[in-house]
Structure 1
Amino acid sequence: MSAPVSSIRNLGPAFEAQCARAGIHSAEELRALGPDEAYGRMLAAGVRPHFIGYYVLVMALQGRPWNDCKGDEKKALRARFDALKASRHDKGRARLDAALAEIGVIERRR
């Protein structure tokens, strides 16, 4: 029998629902995927990116309190999060920004 995602310390029902949206239905599956692949799948499934959610996942899979991440470790996780977000969530964003700038909805980036 599989354990629910919410059986992992610090991951509650809302996170479990986001995992389900990404096709991740058990704690065992989440652990096997690891934080980067699992979070990437969540982003690809349309879950809104949020750095705190990402590092809570990393800490949870390490069995650590969610707020244990500090200093250089947190900076390194931020870089990993930004890379995941760029590869799985922000695809096409530059084209959209260019189109919005063209019609005057947002300022052009320089």
Structure 2
Amino acid sequence: MTTPVSSIRNLGPAFEASCTAAGITSAEMLREMGADVAYARLLCNGTKPHFIGYYVLVMALQGRPWNDCKGAEKAALRVKFDALKSSSSDPAQTEFERMMNLIGVRSG
């Protein structure tokens, strides 16, 4: 049995629709992927990057309120978000290259 993405605290129907469009079809799949891989997939599927959306996802997967992210933790998430954004939304980069970057395989 699968549960909807919107069953996760802080994630509503609009986020679930974006996930579905990106092939993330259940809360279980989203949890297994983790926030970084899932958000990168959303970006590759055309979701516009937005830092608040990213950290809401991170907090949701940790079972925390969306606004619980503060201080040094928020700053560290911003660094991760910027890296995801730059590696996942470069139109000159192929889908294969983006996925290899997501799993940590880099040339050079």
Taking structure 1 as the reference length, the TM-score comes to 0.82
Superposed CA deviations along residues 57-109 of structure 1, whole A, max 9, x for unmatched, are 000000000000000000000000000000001344xxxxxxxxxxxxxxxxx
CA distance in structure 1 between the partners assigned to 2:34 and 2:54 by the alignment: 11
Amino acid in the other structure paired with 1:72: A
**Unaligned segments of structure 1, at least 5 residues:** 93-110
Query: How many residues are matched?
Result: 93
| Residue 59 (structure 1) aligned with residue 44 (structure 2) | no
CA distance in structure 1 between the partners assigned to 2:88 and 2:22 by the alignment: 12
| 2:29 counterpart SS class | helix
Amino acid in the other structure paired with 2:15: F
- Indicate the residue corresponding to 1:95 in structure 2: none
CA distance in structure 2 between the partners assigned to 1:84 and 1:29 by the alignment: 19
Taking structure 2 as the reference length, the TM-score comes to 0.83
CA distance in structure 2 between the partners assigned to 1:89 and 1:49 by the alignment: 8
CA RMSD of aligned residues (A): 1.2
- Indicate the residue corresponding to 2:40 in structure 1: 40
Structure 1 position 29, deviation (Å): 0.1
- Indicate the residue corresponding to 1:10 in structure 2: 10
Structure with bigger gyration radius? 1
Amino acid in the other structure paired with 2:72: D
- Indicate the residue corresponding to 2:71 in structure 1: 71
How many percent of aligned residue pairs carry the same amino acid? 72
| 2:83 counterpart SS class | helix
- Indicate the residue corresponding to 2:98 in structure 1: none
Structure 1 position 21, deviation (Å): 1.3
CA distance in structure 1 between the partners assigned to 2:75 and 2:49 by the alignment: 17
Amino acid in the other structure paired with 2:56: V
